[in-house]
A and B are shown apart, each in its own frame.
Chain A
Amino acid sequence: EPEVTQTPSHQVTQMGQEVILRCVPISNHLYFYWYRQILGQKVEFLVSFYNNEISEKSEIFDDQFSVERPDGSNFTLKIRSTKLEDSAMYFCASRARGGNQPQHFGDGTRLSIL
């Protein structure tokens, strides 16, 4: 069964540094998402992406965050200048066309900011 893949599985970065989290969604999916889960808290929506543009973003997704689909397969989340509070598990998800289609999640990237 096709799956969403995320790399790296764990990223350790110094505060203030830029980090790029990478995702390869399922190939025929059209809608892409990033979520994060701070340790011990619930999964929170960050951003949705469709037709090469952001379709919705949360309050968390400020100017430090950006997303890109640089080619036909990758979907990236960039944090420009990381803060301690950015430490979390970041999940990428994708889904097919149709609002009733479920999102398929990757295994996540654990981001640790020192």
Chain B
Amino acid sequence: AQSVTQLGSHVSVSEGALVLLRCNYSSSVPPYLFWYVQYPNQGLQLLLKYTTGATLVKGINGFEAEFKKSETSFHLTKPSAHMSDAAEYFCAVSGSNTGKLIFGQGTTLQVKP
């Protein structure tokens, strides 16, 4: 069985500060890992994904994440937060034949001016 845990349901940072959103996963098979962002009244937009290869992956809007197998983690970072980054962020894992996604609880990112 697969599962995802996102530590911290709410994270608040100042504009220009480092963003760190934590995600730990559990998977019995090599996982595919994803981060999605959800803006109010919108669907889920893919930020980045890890499938195989380089463990540091870069995504849209300056975000990146590092896959650490030994720590079963896939934390999302951005060096400098922007007001427009305020949204809900979801980490997800996929590993079944059907490709279904298992989501974490989500983290609401607040960016203060």
Contacts and interface: CB of A to CB of B under 8 A. Distances in A.
Given A42-B105, A42-B106, A105-B36, A99 B99 contact: yes
B90 interface: yes
B109 to A, nearest CB: 16
Contacts of A60: none
Given A42-B106, A99-B32, A104 B98 contact: no
A44 B92 CA distance: 11
**Residue from the set B45, B49, B100 with the largest chain A CB neighbour count within 10 Å:** B100
8 contacts: A43-B90, A44-B103, A48-B100, A56-B100, A93-B44, A101-B99, A105-B44, A107-B43
Interface of B: 32, 34, 36, 41-46, 49, 51-52, 90, 92, 94, 96-106
Identify the 4 closest CB pairs spanning chains A and B, nearest first: A100-B51, A105-B43, A105-B44, A56-B98
